[in-house]
Structure 1
């Protein structure tokens, strides 16, 4: 019997967006097990704590993974992405692409990661036209200024953003 196909989908997910949902759904179609890794960077001050982000990811991604027939694990990591992928038994590293700028950066990262860990294969998943402009940074900025971000995030994330930033 072959080992489960495991994919590692890393990011900051601060907050999870509809773009992240698209990538998670596509990744769950490719893998038997999807591990979503929240990167912890000591120099960054995220809007949501790691625990809050893990809670949102489980709430939003678990039904998607189940629909696609994959199991889901949500973890934090503070190591190199390829080391975290290997630690969790993943041989696929999932990266979403919105545009050519993302592609240029991600190609460099994929090349470096391939040298660091040849057993981990980077897979690029393109965003749909509706998700291409969505970034967590813009979602945070719009929400902080009282704007409506309901078109950009799942309802569970919207509820947390609305609690954090009541509309003016």
Structure 2
């Protein structure tokens, strides 16, 4: 079974995340959307809200599982018997950030990282930008799935 982990904070899930997940689905038997929990990181949405956003977005998608974890992604992959990590790249800055992490994950857990280039129409979206728009009462409806819109 080809199992992949798509890790992130998903605070909140964006249409960029959705793009990568939908495009990765044909490649794997299962994708675990893994919400990383970092006690030192202040999030806008609770873990429960983020789980619900993702579950609602992918309701009926039998190849998607949503889980949370703390600690190293490599260790989570070992625990879940996942052979792959899926990451989306918006630009070269993302690649430069992700490359050493991927190399370390491979060294620690023999897990391969698969990079998918974001579709052009969502390559400008990040959770950080979405949170900023939300905090300043801007229209974020074109940046997130409908499950996030309150």
Question: Which band: TM-score by shorter chain?
Answer: over 0.9
Question: What's the counterpart of residue 88 of structure 1?
Answer: 80
Higher relative contact order (CA 8 A, sep 6+): 2
Higher radius of gyration, 1 or 2:
1
TM-aligned CA deviation for residue 89 of structure 1: 1.7
In the alignment, what sits opposite 2:43? Answer: 46
2:93 counterpart of 1:101: yes
Match of 1:132? 123
- Aligned mates of 2:78, 2:47 — CA distance in 1: 21
Instruction: State the Cα distance separating 1:124 from its structure 2 match.
Output: 0.2
| TM-score, structure 2 as length reference | 0.96
How many residues of Structure 1 are paired with residues of Structure 2 in the alignment?
150
Deviation at 1:136, TM superposition (A): 0.4
Deviations 1:4-31 (A, max 9, x none): 2111000000000000001111221111
Measure the CA separation in 1 of the matches of 2:59 and 2:29. Answer: 13
Q: CA deviation at 1:62?
A: 3.3
Gaps of 5+ in 2: none
**Alignment RMSD (CA, Å):** 1.1
